[in-house]
Amino acid sequence: QVQLQQWGAGLLKPSETLSLTCAVYGGSFTGHYWCWIRQPPGKGLEWIGEIHHSGDAKYNPSLKSRVTISVDTSKNEFSLMLNSVTVADTAVYYCASFLWGLGFDYWGRGDLVTVSS
């Protein structure tokens, strides 16, 4: 069974860069796609993007100009960077694993990132 442990800075000022990392324990690192999803307070879920162990990444066009997802296969970790954050980027950020045909089968606990001046 896959377990996802995520961490990163929780308080940012506008224009700073959000950085989160998710470590994968158990399961096959090469079999899944590794994703980031966010949820603004009291709102729904937004897919940010995904990356394969090969490094192939896909992003939500709404964030594509500001987001980078990277992978470190030597550590079974993947990371999210979102630059030039604004108050609108305040959200709980989840890492999750995605398997084609199964969906997002495992989720991290979520980290609240607050952007405030």
**How far is it, in rounded angstroms, from Cα 10 to Cα 114?**
6
Considering beta carbons, is residue 1 or 117 the nearer one to other proteins? 1
Decide: is 58 part of the binding site for other proteins (CB under 8 A). Answer: yes
* Residue 46 makes contact with other proteins by CB under 8 A: yes
Least distance CB 78 / other proteins (angstroms): 17
Give the nearest distance from C-beta 11 to other proteins in angstroms.
20
Q: Can residue 98 be called a binding residue for other proteins (CB under 8 A)?
A: yes
CA 62 to chain centre: 15
Q: CB neighbours (10 Å) of residue 68? A: 16
Give the range of 20-28, 67-75, 76-84, 105-113 binding other proteins by CB under 8 A: 105-113
Please report how close the Cβ of residue 111 comes to other proteins at its closest, in angstroms: 11
Task: Please calculate the CA angle 37-117-86 and round it to the nearest 5 degrees.
Answer: 35
Which structure tokens are listed for 37?
Answer: 């999803």
Is there a contact between 112 and 45 (Cβ–Cβ < 8 Å)? no
Among 42, 57, 52, CA closest to 100: 52
Which residues here bind other proteins, judged by CB under 8 A? 44-47, 58-62, 94, 98, 100-105, 107-110
